[in-house]
Chain A
């Protein structure tokens, strides 16, 4: 059935059955492939998008539940905080294979939006649901701290 979504600032009409995870609508219908499929059960964070600004696992979010929300994917991410995080990610070469990193960036932006100067504990808590099989965690932590510094400057 046709549904209207507010995605990355524009209204998009998609053809999806109720019960379809937002992840697959974003990837297969809208062909926005920055949002990744990693586990499908909300335990890796690769599929993280923002729903009304909140980092949300799109693999366990039904599309019909977010028709009234503002959805942002990595492709639509912008603003000071996003810029700082992405700049820090490049400065510190956080990525390895890169497959988890859209999700890491989406979560990191979520963290810094609510907490401009997160402690190591804050980072470890907030980012616990974002797995990285390449184990880039040390640099994710440093990247968030660096982004926080950039934002303060």
Chain B
């Protein structure tokens, strides 16, 4: 495999052969540069052949960081986009700490661009200054007369490729504070014509995902897992599996969580697994059904909340003339990324191992591998490969599938690489779902239709408690990911009370594209709509009233109002043709502001057709505008597809769904068109991978409601809404 040899070689081996300039940050976090032997976190590597490589510390699941971080370097260094390549960083939490997470390397929370915007530009600017200084010395001219244009140092009638100055530059001191380009001169940042660097290989089948790895002599392992969460292996019989050609053996995982079935190839492993008979000990297993889980949540909503999240309890409902009340339910959801989970572990010559993985939370699997395989951290290597989607699923606080792979590898003689493969059914039934949540909201309006009280109760299973993130996200018992988007709403709502109750663990839960906002935005934005209607007000005007009063242009409220107005204007708000209905919603998440108008034809009983979604986003400086548009389109599709028809349900602890036919993905004909408009901004870049998901479902719900049907229980198709 050429992939991993080149990756392993890129920092160590290359030095002896040719000069290299590496720029990044040192252990103290300060800008650093040097040759291949330099001890630093590289962000850029420039070879003597002039090849520039961006070292991407975030993994690529489709959201575009490989293109985005490369754009930042190319901008500062004076390159065209076709003059830069990229490589994923090896796992080293000390070196690649994602600043938003502390000493921890990982991708998530739409942080890639926010985290790296200044780091990667500064590194690019430093490399530029060093190369120019080296050229000025070589040519005996003033550095101020030189520039880098299209990957060549030019000035004074001379021009030479970057590679000519790499050796000299590598021996120089790194500039203390390199000058960044003036935003007015940016050629690439903000340029909608910049293309993704990975389009061609993904359109011609050459892109290599972890699933595509075939190491010499590898075994494929699939795991027979208990039908109910928490079941344990009591014994198994593999007699029938022995007749499957290619079957190697079956063995109980040391934690008894399943039986690993090894075979020479994927199909044989799957066939053999079907043939293995496992006896399960279900005494500790989950045995509730979805209806029970829902009843527990609803009971919690009707009791005193365990936590008063906002101090002003209770909401002053006695001031209200009219009360609008609604209870909401949001079911468990699976992420169902297109590439089923998988990863491969192989032994290295020095007694260590390499994990090949579309690895999102690098540090956690790194530590888990070291622990399970009894290896020092530096003997565990991670080869980060392309990931076929994630939506949060690859980032588990328990490193669930990497742990399975490590256990399955540990109980072999470790001479053959082990590739762990999940089937779609394994993936769908594997837990780590968006937890089920309920909201009960009462909004009090005065005689003039103004909000005077807002009582908002939330109940569901905490995502963050018991994870390494508890310390930063849970305060005074409140898991803020359960109430984000409500408790911190930018709307200036008087008399607001927010209560939270955690419900009992039903399955392992996990962040799912936009985390708590997946449900909070729906409750907030459909409630705003119901309140507006009860007050006989236009829903857009009504919302703007609660966002008014700052007028500095940069406040949460002003930015939220601006996207609302832009989306409304572009959608022709209020001017829908006969037979059409519109719904609007706006939400802030991950530092970005997104408003959406959904226009439908038909209604809940005759069949709803989603004709058009108009989206306006303010995500600060738009580094790659076309990537941002694509993320808005994708996030909208993800939100709407699940709201339309998806849920994970349990019957006596067994997951009812198993594959796409019963967890039907959004299909190409489901949404007529999506238009995305980006608000120009000079603010620091904020998230784009998630923020378009939260407003999408409530905007659809509000359109359906405008056509006469209120839907507050998801998914819509199971709760009174026909889709055409």
Residues of A at under 8 Å CB distance from B? 17, 20-21, 24, 27-29, 31-41, 43-44, 46, 73-75, 77, 85-86, 89-91, 93-102, 105, 123-125, 127-128, 130-141
Contacts and interface: CB of A to CB of B under 8 A. Distances in A.
Given A21-B267, A28-B214, A43-B660, A34 B199 contact: no
Contacts of A136: 630, 633-634
Interface stretch (B204-212, B486-494, B545-553): B204-212
Contacts of B267: 20-21, 24, 28
B668 A41 contact: no
Nearest to B423: A40
A97 B205 CA distance: 12
A51 B343 CA distance: 31
Nearest to A21: B267
A96 to B, nearest CB: 3
Contacts of B208: 33
B351 to A, nearest CB: 29
Contact of A95 (B202, B206, B674): B202
Given A34-B204, A40-B424, A24 B266 contact: yes
28 contacts: A36-B209, A39-B659, A40-B424, A41-B661, A46-B338, A73-B205, A75-B204, A86-B204, A89-B199, A90-B195, A90-B203, A93-B626, A94-B199, A94-B203, A95-B62, A95-B199, A95-B203, A97-B390, A98-B198, A99-B337, A128-B668, A131-B660, A133-B638, A134-B634, A135-B633, A135-B641, A137-B666, A141-B668
A98 B386 contact: yes
Given A21-B267, A38-B424, A46-B338, A31 B633 contact: no
B336 interface: yes
Given A24-B266, A97-B387, 5 more contacts: A33-B208, A33-B214, A36-B209, A36-B211, A99-B337
Highest count of chain A CB atoms <10 Å: which of B195, B201, B339, B666: B339
B369 interface: no
Contact of B207 (A85, A89, A98): A98
Contacts of A90: 195, 199-200, 203
Contacts of B266: 24, 27-28, 37
B661 A133 contact: no
B203 A127 contact: no
Given A128-B667, A133-B337, A137-B637, A98 B202 contact: yes
A29 B630 CA distance: 36
Given A28-B266, A43-B661, A135-B636, A98 B423 contact: no
B91 interface: no
Nearest to B639: A135
A101 B212 CA distance: 14
A74 B204 CA distance: 6
Given A124-B669, A128-B667, A34 B338 contact: no
B29 to A, nearest CB: 31
Interface in B316-347: 336-340
A124 B338 contact: no
- Number of chain B interface residues as a range: 35 or more
Contacts of A93: 195-196, 199, 626-627, 630
Interface in B618-635: 626-627, 630-631, 633-635
A21 to B, nearest CB: 7
Main secondary structure of the interface of A (DSSP, over half): loop
B666 to A, nearest CB: 6
Contact of B340 (A33, A38, A41, A85): A38
Main secondary structure of the interface of B (DSSP, over half): loop
Contact of B62 (A85, A89, A98, A141): A98
Nearest to A38: B338
B687 to A, nearest CB: 16
Contact of A124 (B209, B214, B638, B668): B668
Contacts of A36: 209, 211, 338-339, 388
Contacts of B340: 37-38
Interface string B55-68: 00000111110000
B245 interface: yes
B666 A135 contact: yes
Contact of A34 (B205, B626, B638): B205
Interface string B364-394: 0000000000000000000000111111000
B590 to A, nearest CB: 18
Contacts of A34: 204-206
Contacts of B634: 96, 134-136
A28 B265 contact: yes
Contact of B338 (A27, A75, A99, A125): A99
Nearest to B660: A43
A44 B220 CA distance: 23
B326 to A, nearest CB: 28
A5 to B, nearest CB: 16
A34 to B, nearest CB: 2
A132 B661 contact: no
B265 A24 contact: yes
B73 interface: no
A44 B660 contact: yes
A77 B206 CA distance: 12
Contacts of B464: none
Contacts of B220: 28
Nearest to A100: B338
Contact of B668 (A17, A35, A130): A130
